[in-house]
Chains A and B, each alone.
Chain A
Amino acid sequence: MNAPPNPGASIRDRLGSSPGGPERLLRGATASVHLGHRLDGTGLGGRVSELARRSVLIATRDQFAAALALVELDGIARRLIICTPDLPSEHLPAVVAKGGVDAIVTDHDRGDDALDVPLRVLCNGTVVPAEETPVTCCRTEWVLLTSGTTGAPKMLVHSLASLTAPIGSALGQRADVVWGTFYDIRRYGGLQIFLRAVLGPGSLVLSGAGEPVGDYLVRLGAHGATHVSGTPSHWRRALMSPDARAIAPRYIRLSGEIADQGILNALQSFYPQASVGHAFASTEAGVGFEVNDGLEGFPASMVGAPGDVQIEVVEGSLRIRSARNAVRYLGEDDSTLADEEGFVDTGDMVERRGERYYFLGRRSGLINVGGLKVYPEEVEAAINRHPAVRMSMVRSRRSPITGSLVAADIVLKGEPDSSGTGGEVVDFKREILQICHARLAPHKIPATIRFVPALEIAAAGKLARHA
């Protein structure tokens, strides 16, 4: 084992002091860069020094370009704000304003011209020899986006220290580790894999923007991927691909959604040589814990146990306190991340059965469709635009493919035409779906719609949502 890295050291510093070993590569779909003793190239066209001490928005289509920017700019930029790949452009001005953004790193020429940002730097995945060796000048704030109630993103501040706190012990891995991740590195779960690969002794193979899952599986296999990570939904999709046999990983990791026993069994049976583990993590709380016994849920002994991560269950909700928690929200005055004792309430509801806790879903009614969050209120607002709708309630429906789906119960104004074939109701359903298509991302559109005579209203006058 090496001495623990200096907590103030940047990714670049840590690459520079990492021991020599087999050739290490960061691979994208069309290009790659060596990660050895020092970065041998730059994806920022030699413009790293212009970005020093700035608040930099990383808004690339391809995650390889984002990966290059993260490696090169940690310790250089004052703040790195990482756009998720599906961030609607209408939210960019708010992100720029809240984040004090004064530079954008992007891999495309157009689309954000209207933003009031003085510096744009192109990073399109092309790597050229680095002529300068920038010197670490800041302890960079890492800002991750996660969707909020209204659809506008919440911005969570992490540090390299909070992000890497869960992976200290993982850095002693064997040097022949080749990581792959179905989970985009611009979300917390994928970023964990990126950091494990870059700061550990291994390599990383990233999927390209829009790359079909089968093509990525074949590339992972060709590069000898040993450690592969994704949400349960990613893995179900991988197992439905004819190219699932292209990989033979030693370690399979699931995070980002509830891992049920079905997907754990299916993976263990399909990849008998692999050790299959699932992790609980959220952007707010960080990595809570990892479960490696092949069973869903987690052992009850973890709750209340001393250690780096403290876990408690209060009124059925999982709460976590550790150095892995995000530091704070950016630009939100009214929402606090942790309570006075430093616990982050995850809002994930759990239930104890015997010596194990099992996940039930979200307290807020928030729906997790294949690792993507959906707030019911946002979908209800779209449905309620239809003139015939009196009220609607959007809820989670269990799915064996994506974990959950969006389902809508709708109360119409007046009695629908019951004289004939129900044609009016069919029309309403089609029109409501059209409204949703126009306003919502595909995973937020109700998969199923039911018309109901009434909805339950709780005492406080709100819709009665059940976890």
Chain B
Amino acid sequence: MSVKATVISEIRRITEGDNKSLPPLTDDLVLLDSGLDSLGIAILVARLEDTLGFDPFTETDDTAYPVTLGDFIRFYERAAESRGVDSRSAG
């Protein structure tokens, strides 16, 4: 599964218990509007670390926090590439 598909499937798994309808998960969607609050984003980052084997927040010196879903996915794709993992098939 690609990094992007892994991120999206984890978001769906975390929000499936809520009875809220999810907005379309497009690249320009603001992460905090995706149905995840900051606890949800924290859970997402932890589960992605377990699935993908890395956590770019603690591994990079990048001090900018991702705002949109697209930012978030690119943040993970860059980290995957720098680890030599093909981001289209990581995980």
**Which A residues form the contact surface with B (CB < 8 A)?**
212-214, 233, 236-237, 239-242, 244, 262, 265-266, 269-270, 369-370, 397-402, 405, 407, 433, 437, 442-443, 447-448
**Bound CA–CA A376/B55 (angstroms):** 24
Residues B63 and A400 in contact, CB atoms below 8 Å apart:
no
Q: Shortest distance in angstroms between B56's beta carbon and chain A's nearest beta carbon? A: 9
A-B contact count (CB 8 A): 75
In the complex, besides A369-B39, A400-B45, 18 extra interface pairs with C-beta distance below 8 angstroms are A214-B32, A240-B41, A240-B65, A241-B32, A242-B30, A262-B57, A265-B63, A266-B63, A269-B63, A270-B63, A400-B55, A401-B42, A405-B42, A407-B46, A447-B42, A447-B43, A447-B46, A448-B46
Q: Which of A233, A266, A405 contacts B46 (CB 8 A)?
A: A405
B67 within 8 Å of A (CB atoms): yes
Residues B58 and A398 in contact, CB atoms below 8 Å apart:
yes
**Bound CA–CA A265/B60 (angstroms):** 12
**Bound CA–CA A398/B55 (angstroms):** 11
Q: Which residue of B lies closest to A434 (CB)?
A: B17
Determine the main DSSP class of B at the interface with A: helix
Given contacts A240-B67, A400-B55, contact A233 B38 (CB under 8 A): yes
Given contacts A399-B46, A443-B39, contact A242 B67 (CB under 8 A): yes
Q: Which of A239, A400, A437 contacts B58 (CB 8 A)?
A: A400
Residues A401 and B47 in contact, CB atoms below 8 Å apart:
no
B66 within 8 Å of A (CB atoms): yes
A sample of 27 inter-chain contacts (CB < 8 A) reads: A213-B32, A233-B38, A236-B65, A239-B64, A239-B65, A240-B31, A240-B65, A240-B66, A240-B67, A242-B30, A266-B63, A266-B65, A270-B64, A369-B42, A370-B38, A397-B46, A399-B46, A400-B55, A400-B57, A401-B41, A401-B45, A402-B39, A405-B43, A407-B46, A447-B42, A447-B47, A448-B46
Q: Shortest distance in angstroms between A114's beta carbon and chain B's nearest beta carbon? A: 28
Residues of chain B contacted by A237 (CB below 8 angstroms): 32, 37-38
Select the residue from B42, B50, B66 with max chain A CB neighbours within 10 A. B42
Residues of chain B contacted by A269 (CB below 8 angstroms): 63-64
Given contacts A437-B17, A447-B47, A448-B47, contact A262 B39 (CB under 8 A): no
**Bound CA–CA A239/B50 (angstroms):** 25
Residues B17 and A262 in contact, CB atoms below 8 Å apart:
no
**Bound CA–CA A223/B50 (angstroms):** 43
Residues B42 and A266 in contact, CB atoms below 8 Å apart:
no
